Amino acid sequence: MSEPRYLLDTHALIFWAENIELSRDFIEFLDEQQRLGMLCVSTISFWEVALLAKKDRIQVADVHAWKNELMNSTNLYLIDPTAAEMINSVSLPDHHKDPFDRLLIAQANQRNMALVTRDMHIAKYDVARFWM
């Protein structure tokens, strides 16, 4: 299987999974990419979802159940960060302080994927970025 082309930032994952804050066209595009096996999510995004839920910044009662339902009902490709990606994330310029976003940038770069994000701080990096 070839490597997926699109890596979801955590907010993009939440918006897509919950069908919120995205246009119908964008949702349909992401739906099609996941059907083709071209859409992936980093394991770190589920860590970030759990932290956001704990802080009551998002409403997910059971992150395990939410993740399992999402992974069982879609063709999302799950990727783990490598040691090289973790090290590379620290070497990035300091445009963005969020370690989750820095790791997603490193993962997207290492794997030649476009990072699906609306975060404008990420646009300061040399990384393919996609948003509709």
Query: Which domain CATH number covers 92?
Result: 3.40.50.1010
Q: Is 50 contained in some domain?
A: yes
Over residues 32-41, the pLDDT tens digits come to: 999 999 999 9
What mean pLDDT do residues 25-29 have?
Answer: 97
What mean pLDDT do residues 110-130 have?
Answer: 95
Cβ burial, residue 38 (10 Å; 0-12/13-18/19+): middle
Q: Is 58 contained in some domain?
A: yes
Closest Cα to residue 118, out of 3, 5, 38, 20? 20
Pair of tokens at residue 12? 């993009």
pLDDT category, 97, cuts 50, 70, 90? confident
Q: Is 132 contained in some domain?
A: no
Q: How many domains does the chain have?
A: 1
Which domain does 102 fall in, by range? 6-127
Q: What are phi and psi of 5, to 5 degrees?
A: -90, -20
Q: Is 78 contained in some domain?
A: yes
Q: Is 28 contained in some domain?
A: yes
Of the chain, the percentage scoring pLDDT greater than 90 comes to 94
Q: Is 1 contained in some domain?
A: no
Closest Cα to residue 108, out of 87, 90, 85? 85
Q: Is 118 contained in some domain?
A: yes
